[in-house]
Structure 1
Amino acid sequence: KQCIADLRVTDPRHDKRRIEGMKGSLLRDSYLWVLDNPDFRQWRNNDNQRLLWVKGDPGKGKTMLLCGIIDELERMRTEGQTLSYFLFQATDERISTAKAALRSLIYMLLEKDASLISHMEKPHAAAGRDLFEDTNGWQALCEIFENILQDPKLQGVVLVVDALDECLQGLPVFLDLVVRTSQNTTAKWLISSRNWPQIEEPLCKVAHRLSLEVNETSVTEAVNTYIEHKVSELARRKGYRDDIAREVYHYLSSNADGTFLWVALVYQELETTYSWNVLQNVKSFPLGLDALYQRMIEQTLASEDTESCKQVLALVATTYRPPSLSELMTLVGESFRMKTYREMLEGIISLCGSFLTIREDKVYFVHQSAKDFLMKSYPVVLFPNGQPSVHSQILENSIEAMSSILKRDNYNLRYPGFPIEKVKPPTPDPLSTVGYCCVYWVNHLVDAITNQDEGRNLHDGEIADSFLRTKALYWIEALSLLRGIPDSIVALDGLKQHIQDHPSASDLQAIIADVYRLLRGFRPALETRPLQCYASAIVFSPVKSLARKLFRGEAPDWVKCKPELSERWSACEATLEGHTASVLSAAFSPDGRRVVSASGDKTVKLWDAATATYEATLEGHTNRVWSAAFSPDGRRVVSASDDNTVKLWDAATATCEATLQGHTASVRSAAFSPDGRRVVSASWDKTVKLWDAATATCEATYE
């Protein structure tokens, strides 16, 4: 059905197979230990233990362990039980957000039981794809998800989520959802992450832990099983004598330190080592991941094409998602591109000391810890002129390529009303080399201008200004085809803030402001009908809109009766809708990125100011809420209500931290002190009260 197609972000089953392929085949004997682990067995068999957190340091095999557990849960699944899972990856933007995780978990549940679609049909019929992607998308998804979990037809639901530390957007609200549904439904959660305090804090009171460091003996035995398997593979393929195979096994097992990733990286090197040299080579690998990474970078710096390797590593370390090989060809620039056709680029990647890998035509770091090592230990090698200079290089090469490739109707859709869901990229795809550039060039411009030497890109008439004045509509069309409009609205808003005081960028400021308003004002049409950027976006823009003037030649000639329009954009940038009663108060966060609103519907809502999208609802008051405000650091919210109380909220998790009780009538106003340590409240009981924000106790009453 269409609603399932609109819901789908990815199929986690395909992601699982791809990740297993990247990390090497899944070896059953290397994870079987966990099935007999007391913590796992208790979670599996005790109905009252519904949340298990597997935690461990980088390279300890958490992802492959959970892949193995998923396989075993599938084997052990009885009739009526349902398994759904998701694997976060920070290096893949598709699967690095809380919303993507929740959509995918729901998608798998619906795939396995089609009757559950009844929880989604009615709201989807009214809103379509916007149900999942508009301002209330997260709230709508949570409601659908929790209704599904409470469906009496659904028994024995198990939800597995890997690598929470690789969730780059929405981690606090996702953790809140996990905790909440583990307590108010019968669903069981199995989650994994690194040992991060920001993950441990919300889980500490409700989750049971399975620490890979605590289970060091079992993990070491599993690693040794993995080593035995890999050495057997090498011996068979390379023709090792038995004594050589034993010595290789002994060295690896003595130095692996319980780390699967260390073994996998060494194995990758040994694959290209001749059998007569294997003992000498294997003994050159040092103990520990960082020491191994050190050896790898030293080999890379001693290779025959050091400069090319450093440039490729710097580019991949600076991009916001893994580029495809075609996109990377664009980013390296003309001078490097001249000698780097595709096969040569693949060769240079292979020279990068196993730091990089190519999977499904995309270039990834072999592991997040590999990127972390380079960024921490070798920033001067990768970025001799600072990382902003690499951002600037990517920016300049992106604009050069987009200026050359982008044109009107890139996919030959012809009809202005052609719907995005029916678009099929042609072969060859004209956007394949500039897809990354279209979505992220603004982000690279923002990060480039942190370096004063890169300010030239902001000057009037320079590359950014010139590109927008000549190619803005073609770029917007490409953004629509690439589903990149929401991210670009956020990026343009950030760029506006960065350049508002730049002395040589008045023209650039003007065109950015105009394109920003056009994207926000016509977003529904642009996201669903790519060619509307040449129709409604031009026809209905204000008379003095820069984009309208610059691109009037692109307007449809079949519009004979021109509408009467205002001269300038409305002062209203966006309308935040979602409350069901009067909105009584609204305030910005100190950094201007969020808005908090208080309403007669008894709720407080949080909003993203750049995209005008809803983030969370703070529920708990039993009467209308008169006032809401952020703390000076933006981490907390205080609200005042007709229920005679003041509440303190965590702005990240949308949870109530404390209720301040003491007033005997409606509380009309509340605010934090400048240092955030105290709260003041004003009430119709004719008093003002001072509260300690840490202990939630009343310090004084002014009568």
Structure 2
Amino acid sequence: MRTAAVVKSSAPSDCEVSAQVSAASIDFSRASFVIESESTQQTPAATSSSAPRLPIAPATSLIDIETSDYADSATARLPIRLWDRAYNDLKQEEAELVDAYEKILSRQLEDGPGSAVPESQKNTIAQDNSDAGRHQMTRLVHAGLDKIESEAKVKESFGVAVDVVLSARNIISSAAQAVPQAAFAWTGIYIALEMLANPITATEANREGIDYVVKRMDWYWKLSTTLLKQSAGHGSELAGVRRELENQFVNLYKALLLYQIKSVYSYYRNRGLVFLRDIVKLDDWSGDLNAIQDAENVFHQDSKAYVAQQTNSYLERLVRNQMSENDQQCVRDLRLTDPRDDKIRIEQTKGGLLRSSFHWIFDNPEFQRWRDCVGSSLLWIKGGPGKGKTMLLCGIIDELEQSIVVSGQNHNLAYFFCQATDSRIRSATSVLRGLIYLLVRQQPSLLSHLRKKYDDAGETLFEDVNTWVVLSDIFEKMLGDQDLKPTYLIIDALDECVDDLPKLLELIVRISSKRVKWLLSSRNEPHIERKLKCDEKHTRLNLELKENAEQVSRAIDAFIDKKLSKLELLQNDTLLKNQVRDILHEKANGTFLWVALVIQELHKEEVESWHVSQIVKELPPDLDGMYDRMLNNIRRHERDLELCWRILSTATAAYRPLYLVEVGALSGLPEEVLKSVENVKSIVAKCGSFLTIQDDQLYLIHQSAKEYLSKRASNLLFPCGVEMTHHGILIRSLELMSGKLRRDMYDLGAPGFPIEKVRTQDSGLLATMRYSCIYWVDHLCDIVSGTDIERTDHLQDNRVVHTFLKTKYLYWLEALSLLRAMSEGVIAIGQLKGLLGPNDGKQLADLVRDAHRFALSYKWIIEHAPLQAYVSALVFAPASSLIRACFGTEIPDWISTKPVVEETWNACVQTLEGHSDFIQSVAFSPDGQRLASGSGDRTIKIWGYRLG
């Protein structure tokens, strides 16, 4: 299943809130399960009902579950069945341990709690009758709890602190009274509580561990009932995922049970129990707790995947019921990227979301003010590179989603992650498209504001020069809608919004509503601060201020501890692990990214355990110093050094993360390397830690890495200027396309084969050309913007660009259709048209103008049926069309009678797209600037119209 987050409680006081995920209560697009600190469950100050705030989960006891969810007997017995499975599995896997444990329990049943256990003790726990066994356990729990309570009160009267014992006792008592069958799971805990109350026999680590285990058992008992409850309509489609999640519950329960069993052993070993003496190592309480948290990690990942699938299944039916086919097409055209997928990818690329790295934010006064107060509409979290801002926002999003589900409140949550290294998600327009996309997915009624414009313009609404103007107006109308639900809008990394950031900031400041709360993050950029105008409504949270920096530092310490616990080299050397941890704590300087780079260094195959201490001592305590070291390490690969520079320079100059099959060809690697993707991976592995691979796609580890490579390392990567790298990418792109583009690349056969039936191929002809097809013109623009006049020679007649368009243009359009990128192609050829000047080739300029008209006129038909590029488009192109002349031989022979066509392109710049039936009438506005079209599909569309 898809990994999304790590669940860990960093303190023994952490507890969980119950999640209610029935389909009827879900009103968001993705769900996740996170731990909520007790401090976040306090009743907040009264606020306006219209103000969106982080909903607080209701306190749910086992009695609540018994009187509601337990109406369904199958659901009622589910947690019992799971705990029974876990206990029975342990009896098989740890037979000697469980038998000894049951002998202890047998003695307690005979002589009462606290009785000494002789070596001759027999196991009298019912083995073949689970109901009888539970009855025995119930008796034992109640007797033990009465004893502990009386002892605790006596100790308390003498000033002995027993809060932990009484707190845990209340949880067990509640469970035993509400659901007597739960006694099997809780039996060993009361014995461990007696140990907890005795500071002589209990170590601090075990004391904290037992407190943690008690609360986790209570949480997971409740959660299994609500999470795995069978919802109507989800039966068969989620059955397999549900079974897998049940298995993860069982594995988690086994880890919890094993901890309590070992704790009981420890207690009785201290009382002199002979036969338990050598059964198990009892003093690694921290290691045992880590095993529980690892099991929680796996469970949490799978639960997120399950809830996401359950939620999406529900939402898809809901949206289908509320949206017409035209509505759904509008949403499909709007979608440039799904921010939910970007979030998952980012979390996976960064190694998973660790709760201890972000949970401190929920106790921060500035965050609480933003969340709870009506007058606080914007919070800007700022900090330097590598401070964990992105993962902090990921954690906040998870917490908001979880709390919305648990409370059942009706809120919207839309978010967007900007990344300067990816052209799809680094513009203000992209941000709006992403936010609007999530808003209409959650509240379909808002789509009416978008449809008003979309019905006029079709998908060109999202592509032309006026897109920002139109979308910002639509966005403001959506947020001003009287029926808008309270809404959270979150944007990460504003400083990585490369295109039109000032416009986005102005829009954010302009939108002020009691129902809308903004959460933003960025580096410490003065121009962003000036625009946001922080005041009583707009709050800033500086991660580098002392009080916040201390919290970040503690979060980084927990991050270090978790990463070192997974480092195999240190597992058998506690002293070395502690030394390394102390050095990293001292040198981290509040930077998560620095720690991640160090851990990557220690994970390298050539690093041995005796190298570790020296490596961490030598590491520079800042990012630039780390990058310098990484660059020097690359220089050690003398034979492959040039190949490393090629890959790094290409990855740095590219407009989006490259696939492995793309980067090899675009970097100009030798043929012997390109024979295998594994060869390319080997070269990438030698590029230090600058690059990371996720799903066969190559990512720069951080924006700061790109900045370092572009500036401080530019003399190595771009010795002749970055334009030369763009030039190399352009030439290799054109060579690649010229060599491989051909007619009917997917062997569709039929000219009318619809694009929706074409399966996207991850391998084959287009796999290596995906990037080239979409971005070659962008790299040409980068060359022309440089200072080397010689390179603009490409824009002369009969040179490489002219030759490509004359021989491959139509095949390129087919490829764009197959890649679902016709819109990008039309924009690219428009860019090329605008790039040409009076000193460039006249024949090239004429061909580009003709190609642009051809693309505009036949975009719709080629986009929906790729092979129509050779039929409808060519056949109906004007007789004097240069593209028709270049590709006339592609017109099918079976068209024996050619239609009479116009001699030249007419005044119509683009076809009337979007009607689902024939156009029956058209009418012009009096000023000649607008055109109305009426269709048999009973719709009327208004079009912008321009003469000449």
Do 2:583 and 2:617's aligned partners in 1 also have CA atoms closer than 8 Å? yes
- Counterpart of 1:103 (choices 426, 429, 433) is 433
Aligned position for 1:675: none
Aligned residues: 583
Do 2:565 and 2:571's aligned partners in 1 also have CA atoms closer than 8 Å? no
- Counterpart of 1:512 (choices 844, 848, 857) is 848
Q: Does 1:178 align with 2:508?
A: yes
| Whole-Å separation in 1 of the counterparts to 2:844 and 2:454 | 40
| Whole-Å separation in 1 of the counterparts to 2:669 and 2:543 | 47
Q: Structure 1 length normalisation: TM-score?
A: 0.75
- Counterpart of 1:279 (choices 590, 607, 613) is 613
Q: Structure 2 length normalisation: TM-score?
A: 0.57
For 1:664-679, list aligned pairs within 5 A. Answer: none
| Whole-Å separation in 2 of the counterparts to 1:535 and 1:44 | 58
| Whole-Å separation in 1 of the counterparts to 2:797 and 2:635 | 40
Aligned position for 1:32: 359
Which of the two has greater helix per residue? Answer: 2
Aligned position for 2:265: none
User: 1:313–1:582: structure 2 CA closer, same or farther, 3 Å change rule?
Assistant: farther
- Counterpart of 1:246 (choices 578, 582, 587) is 578
Aligned position for 1:387: 722
Q: Does 1:202 align with 2:535?
A: no
Range moving further from structure 2, 120-129 or 327-336 = 120-129
Aligned position for 1:224: 557
- Counterpart of 1:233 (choices 566, 586, 591) is 566
| Whole-Å separation in 1 of the counterparts to 2:748 and 2:463 | 24
SS at match of 1:377: coil
Do 1:329 and 1:337's aligned partners in 2 also have CA atoms closer than 8 Å? no
For 1:463-474, list aligned pairs within 5 A. Answer: 463-474=800-811
SS at match of 1:52: strand
| Whole-Å separation in 1 of the counterparts to 2:348 and 2:506 | 32
User: 1:155–1:464: structure 2 CA closer, same or farther, 3 Å change rule?
Assistant: closer
Cα distance, 1:169 vs. partner? 3.2
Cα distance, 1:532 vs. partner? 3.6
- Counterpart of 1:320 (choices 648, 652, 655) is 655
| Whole-Å separation in 2 of the counterparts to 1:185 and 1:583 | 42
Cα distance, 1:572 vs. partner? 8.2
User: 1:136–1:337: structure 2 CA closer, same or farther, 3 Å change rule?
Assistant: farther
- Counterpart of 2:636 (choices 302, 326, 330) is 302
* Aligned sequence identity (%): 44
Aligned position for 1:406: 741
Do 2:570 and 2:577's aligned partners in 1 also have CA atoms closer than 8 Å? no
- Counterpart of 2:897 (choices 547, 560, 567) is 560
Cα distance, 1:405 vs. partner? 1.5
Do 1:50 and 1:188's aligned partners in 2 also have CA atoms closer than 8 Å? yes
| Whole-Å separation in 2 of the counterparts to 1:514 and 1:129 | 22
Unaligned runs of 5+ residues in structure 2 are 1-319, 913-923, 931-942
| Whole-Å separation in 2 of the counterparts to 1:277 and 1:428 | 42
| Whole-Å separation in 2 of the counterparts to 1:131 and 1:460 | 34
Cα distance, 1:70 vs. partner? 1.1
User: 1:382–1:146: structure 2 CA closer, same or farther, 3 Å change rule?
Assistant: same
Aligned position for 2:39: none
Cα distance, 1:355 vs. partner? 0.4
Do 2:878 and 2:901's aligned partners in 1 also have CA atoms closer than 8 Å? no
User: 1:104–1:387: structure 2 CA closer, same or farther, 3 Å change rule?
Assistant: closer
Q: Does 1:266 align with 2:598?
A: yes
| Whole-Å separation in 2 of the counterparts to 1:51 and 1:301 | 47
- Counterpart of 2:867 (choices 510, 525, 531) is 531
| Whole-Å separation in 1 of the counterparts to 2:440 and 2:907 | 43
Cα distance, 1:157 vs. partner? 1.5
For 1:369-388, list aligned pairs within 5 A. Answer: 369-388=704-723
Range moving further from structure 2, 58-67 or 117-126 = 117-126
| Whole-Å separation in 2 of the counterparts to 1:581 and 1:246 | 79
Give a deviation string over 1:277-302, Cα, whole Å, max 9, x none. Answer: 10011112101100110110011122
User: 1:613–1:25: structure 2 CA closer, same or farther, 3 Å change rule?
Assistant: farther
Cα distance, 1:391 vs. partner? 1.9
Do 1:83 and 1:159's aligned partners in 2 also have CA atoms closer than 8 Å? yes
- Counterpart of 1:161 (choices 473, 480, 491) is 491
SS at match of 1:86: strand
Give a deviation string over 1:354-373, Cα, whole Å, max 9, x none. Answer: 00111121111110100100
| Whole-Å separation in 2 of the counterparts to 1:396 and 1:222 | 47
Range moving further from structure 2, 18-27 or 513-522 = 513-522
Do 2:583 and 2:616's aligned partners in 1 also have CA atoms closer than 8 Å? yes
Cα distance, 1:255 vs. partner? 1.4
User: 1:333–1:254: structure 2 CA closer, same or farther, 3 Å change rule?
Assistant: same
Give a deviation string over 1:428-455, Cα, whole Å, max 9, x none. Answer: 4431110111111122233334323434
SS at match of 2:879: coil
Range moving further from structure 2, 130-139 or 4-13 = 130-139
Cα distance, 1:416 vs. partner? 4.5
Which of the two has greater strand per residue? Answer: 1
| Whole-Å separation in 1 of the counterparts to 2:503 and 2:862 | 29
Unaligned runs of 5+ residues in structure 1 are 585-596, 600-611, 615-703
Code of the aligned partner of 1:20:
E
| Whole-Å separation in 1 of the counterparts to 2:856 and 2:674 | 42
User: 1:471–1:30: structure 2 CA closer, same or farther, 3 Å change rule?
Assistant: same
Give a deviation string over 1:74-116, Cα, whole Å, max 9, x none. Answer: 2332322332222122223333333333333233334444565
Aligned position for 2:686: 351
Range moving further from structure 2, 36-45 or 542-551 = 542-551
User: 1:513–1:58: structure 2 CA closer, same or farther, 3 Å change rule?
Assistant: same
Aligned position for 1:628: none
Cα distance, 1:518 vs. partner? 2.2
SS at match of 1:407: coil
| Whole-Å separation in 2 of the counterparts to 1:379 and 1:547 | 41
Aligned position for 2:348: 21
Give a deviation string over 1:295-339, Cα, whole Å, max 9, x none. Answer: 100111222421111111111112111111111122133635556
Code of the aligned partner of 2:428:
A
Do 2:377 and 2:514's aligned partners in 1 also have CA atoms closer than 8 Å? no
Give a deviation string over 1:25-46, Cα, whole Å, max 9, x none. Answer: 2111121221111111110110
| Whole-Å separation in 1 of the counterparts to 2:818 and 2:463 | 16
| Whole-Å separation in 2 of the counterparts to 1:582 and 1:349 | 62
Cα distance, 1:130 vs. partner? 4.9
Q: Does 1:442 align with 2:782?
A: no
Higher relative contact order (CA 8 A, sep 6+): 2
Do 1:399 and 1:441's aligned partners in 2 also have CA atoms closer than 8 Å? yes
| Whole-Å separation in 1 of the counterparts to 2:852 and 2:447 | 37
| Whole-Å separation in 1 of the counterparts to 2:908 and 2:455 | 30
| Whole-Å separation in 2 of the counterparts to 1:297 and 1:613 | 54
Aligned position for 1:292: 626
| Whole-Å separation in 1 of the counterparts to 2:802 and 2:449 | 48
| Whole-Å separation in 1 of the counterparts to 2:612 and 2:750 | 63
| Whole-Å separation in 1 of the counterparts to 2:694 and 2:761 | 23
Cα distance, 1:23 vs. partner? 1.0
Give a deviation string over 1:505-552, Cα, whole Å, max 9, x none. Answer: 343333233223322344444444433432343234333222111111
What RMSD, in angstroms, separates the aligned Cα atoms of the two structures? 3.3
Give a deviation string over 1:612-635, Cα, whole Å, max 9, x none. Answer: 999xxxxxxxxxxxxxxxxxxxxx
| Whole-Å separation in 1 of the counterparts to 2:422 and 2:644 | 22
User: 1:426–1:309: structure 2 CA closer, same or farther, 3 Å change rule?
Assistant: closer
| Whole-Å separation in 2 of the counterparts to 1:418 and 1:197 | 54
For 1:70-85, list aligned pairs within 5 A. Answer: 70-77=397-404, 78=407, 79-85=409-415
Code of the aligned partner of 2:627:
Y
Aligned position for 1:54: 381
Cα distance, 1:47 vs. partner? 1.0
